[in-house]
Amino acid sequence: MNYSFKNDYAEGAHPKILEALSRTNLRQQAGYGLDDYSDEAKKLIQKRLRHHSEIHFVSGGTQANLTVIAALLRPHESIISAETGHIFTNEAGAIEATGHKIHAVATADGKLRPDDLQKVLDAHQNIPHQVKQKLVYISNSTEIGTIYSAGELQDLYRYCQAKKMYLFLDGARLGHALTAENNDLTLEIIAKNTDVFYLGGTKNGALIGEAIVINNEALREDFGYHLKLRGALLAKGRLLGIQFLELFRDDLYFELAKHANAQAMRIKEAFSQAGCHFLAETYTNQIFPILTQDQIEHLSLNYEFYIWKKLDDQHSAIRIITSWYTPEDIVNQFINEIKQLK
């Protein structure tokens, strides 16, 4: 079987999480997220945030995006997203199915800036005949592995506040963004400069699970109803709480993300030394080398990855993703293959 670099959730879960789930298995706990483990996990995360935020655990990223956006918006309100945004490209119209339009903005690096948002607002001045832009959706890291700086996020949030729009950050790979070598963001800064964000567990060592963090107090009322409405309120909510408790007890969450990033950077360096260029400059666990068709076919003999974007008849950008578990010996073998590229 070929080794897969297609995603960062091909493995199950970190052994500490499995051990904790087994160890606590027969202890009775309250349901629907009211268990002791979820409560303790929330306190650990809040300590990191240094912000009085409200935290809810859900099972997956699409569920988090869908629940948050549907809860925050009224029927006539819409979302602005980068064209590469997960809600626009990979969620089967889940957001549109709730009745909310997504305005997709083309950006070279997958990030949104105030000027991008202003162009959408300028095109929607025929009130009340057009939808009203109310929520800005961003990802960190983005779908092409880039990250926001503290200054970029602060500028974006100030703009959103001035325009009376919400800022929602998809953190499916937030651990990787926060541990990237060029990152200057912290959870504390994010908590102060978003209305809502979430911490992704599924792509960083958990079996399942994301932690929705609501920073804007005005958005917390009745959110539990939306969780129930969307099938996100698990009777055995302990399963999510236990996982986040283990991830944040001793900084395991950040250690796992660092490992994934480090392996990706080793592979990136090998492609660079082989003379390859990249679709985007990334320092997280996603890299996008541009290869010839012959090079892609050579690497495909023993490794799996996605062809991300066809650039011309002879060249495409592929996507390589490393995980919290990606073994160093596998990376060594892959690097040797890269060295043989012509």
In a domain, 119, yes or no: yes
Do 167 and 178 lie in a common domain?
Answer: yes
CATH number at residue 155: 3.40.640.10
In a domain, 241, yes or no: yes
Q: Are 150 and 184 in contact (CB under 8 A)?
A: yes
In a domain, 4, yes or no: no
Do 171 and 309 lie in a common domain?
Answer: no
* Coil, helix or strand at residue 98: helix
* Coil, helix or strand at residue 22: helix
Question: Can you give the residue range of the structural domain that contains 315?
Answer: 253-339
Q: State which of 194, 226, 251 marks the end of a domain.
A: 251
Residue 67: closest CA among 204, 210, 185: 210
Q: Which two structure tokens, joined as six digits, stand for 320?
A: 């390589």
H/E element, 37: helix 36-49
Q: Which two structure tokens, joined as six digits, stand for 118?
A: 């202003």
Do 138 and 29 lie in a common domain?
Answer: yes
Residue where the block lists tokens 């949030």 = 157
CATH number at residue 303: 3.90.1150.10
Q: State which of 231, 251, 271 marks the end of a domain.
A: 251
Do 76 and 106 lie in a common domain?
Answer: yes
Q: State which of 251, 275, 304 marks the end of a domain.
A: 251
CA 10 to CA 197: how far, in whole Å?
Answer: 24
What is residue 340's DSSP assignment? T
In a domain, 128, yes or no: yes
Task: Tell me what pLDDT residue 342 has.
Answer: 77
Q: Are 77 and 134 in contact (CB under 8 A)?
A: yes
In a domain, 1, yes or no: no
Do 263 and 170 lie in a common domain?
Answer: no
CA 177 to CA 112: how far, in whole Å?
Answer: 16
Do 259 and 223 lie in a common domain?
Answer: no
Residue where the block lists tokens 């997280």 = 284
Do 247 and 270 lie in a common domain?
Answer: no
Task: Tell me what pLDDT residue 254 has.
Answer: 98
The structural domain count of the chain equals 2
CA 298 to CA 266: how far, in whole Å?
Answer: 19
Q: Are 191 and 216 in contact (CB under 8 A)?
A: no
Burial of 235 (0-12, 13-18, 19+ CB in 10 A): exposed
**263-292 as b/e: b if 16+ CB within 10 A:** bbbbbbebbeebebebbbebbbbbbbbbbe
In a domain, 6, yes or no: no
Task: Tell me what pLDDT residue 251 has.
Answer: 95
In a domain, 10, yes or no: no
CA 80 to CA 167: how far, in whole Å?
Answer: 10
Q: Are 316 and 310 in contact (CB under 8 A)?
A: yes
Do 35 and 111 lie in a common domain?
Answer: yes
Do 300 and 232 lie in a common domain?
Answer: no
In a domain, 2, yes or no: no
What does the pLDDT look like over 115-169, one tens digit per residue? 999 999 999 999 999 999 999 999 999 999 999 999 999 999 999 999 999 999 9
Task: Tell me what pLDDT residue 311 has.
Answer: 94
Do 274 and 126 lie in a common domain?
Answer: no
Task: Tell me what pLDDT residue 1 has.
Answer: 74
What does the pLDDT look like over 307-334, one tens digit per residue? 999 999 999 999 999 999 999 999 999 9
Do 48 and 174 lie in a common domain?
Answer: yes
Q: How high does pLDDT run on average in the chain?
A: 97
C-alpha separations of 328 from 42, 246, 296, 323 in Å: 33, 24, 22, 11
Do 286 and 142 lie in a common domain?
Answer: no
Q: Give the E-state strand segments of the chain in sequence order.
A: 3-4, 54-58, 77-82, 102-105, 132-139, 166-170, 196-200, 210-214, 277-278, 286-287, 289-292, 303-304, 306-310, 315-321
* % residues pLDDT > 70 (the chain): 100
